[in-house]
Amino acid sequence: MAASRTSLASLAAAASVALAAPAAAEPALAVGATRPPPGHGAVQLIDERSLTVGQVGAAWALGLDAVVGVTPDLAIGVSHSAAALGEPRDGGGVCIDSTAHDCAGLYAGGFVDARWRVPGAAALTGVVRLGVGAAWSPLLRLGVVARGAERHLWWRIAPEVAVALDRADGDRDALGVPAWLGVDLGAGSAWLATGVRGELTGFADALVVPLAAGVEGRYRGAAIGLSAGYPQLLGRHASTRVRALAWWIGWGW
């Protein structure tokens, strides 16, 4: 009887860990938050464009996201794309002048980050990012990523606070809570992305709620994906005319 109870307890514990573990089929957009095992990693090149009325296809930025596992509990990454940073749009990297916007400079900003396992919480990853915005203003971003999966569904939520380190540039502290809900398609994934974002001062007035859909196909270590939607579907400056698209190619090992 004792052995039977031990077996049942072990099975229940294994099942709870499996449900709380990251989804194996989570797409490459997770390069901005994933924590791979030591020696493993991923890299992706992202092309962001406008789908706004009158600007369809206009280039925005070309970014690079990458991450590599250093220890079982720590990974180091570089994040440029809007998706990797949990932004509704306006990714960093190489800024491209177009009818969609004018670039202040060639480099639109980016972040180097550390990601570590939160002790006692297998499904949580702490993230600290340090980098610069488009105007070379220094920013510190502190957050946590919660993720999980059940059967063919996976989800992720990544609250993060952005702290402006140079007030002279006019930057403001901000809070972002991006969220994703997706389904594993076997050789790929599809998902919906939403969340909230706004400056901490007058948060309700600056609130932005995006909505986007994405899909990614994978073959062995290679991946290709596409995401499109509304960066400011809800909020004080809501608009269905403002639309954004990103597509990427990636490789994991």
Q: Tell me the domain boundaries of the chain.
A: 19-248
Instruction: Over range 176-194, report the average pLDDT.
Output: 93
Residue 2 has pLDDT above 60, yes or no: no
> Is 90 exceeded by the pLDDT of residue 222?
yes
Mean pLDDT (whole number) for 1-9: 42
Cβ distance 190 to 213 under 8 Å? yes
Task: Identify the weakest region by mean pLDDT among 49-58, 88-97, 138-147, 169-178.
Answer: 169-178
Distance CA 111, CA 81 (A): 10
Q: Mean pLDDT across the stretch 183-201?
A: 91
- In tens, the pLDDT along 133-156 reads 877 889 999 999 998 888 899 999
Query: 16: buried, middle or exposed (CB in 10 Å: 19+, 13-18, 0-12)?
Result: exposed
Residue 33 identity: A
- pLDDT for the residue numbered 91: 86
* 209 beta partners: 234
What pLDDT, on the 0 to 100 scale, is given for residue 69?
95
pLDDT the model gives residue 128 = 96
What's residue 101's pLDDT? 84
Task: Give per-residue pLDDT as tens, 84-95.
Answer: 888 878 889 999
Q: Does domain 19-248 have CATH number 2.40.160.40?
A: yes
Query: Tokens 């995006």 sit at which residue?
Result: 210
Q: Is the pLDDT of residue 126 over 60?
A: yes
pLDDT band at 58 (very low <50, low <70, confident <90, very high): very high
pLDDT at 171: 63
Kindly report the pTM of this predicted structure: 0.82
Calculate the CA 243 to chain-centre distance.
18
- The number of helices, as runs of H, and strands, as runs of E, in the chain is 2, 14
DSSP 101: B
* Mean pLDDT, rounded, for 24-30: 57
Q: What is the pLDDT of the chain when averaged over all its residues?
A: 85
Task: Check residues 146 and 21 and name the one with the higher pLDDT.
Answer: 146
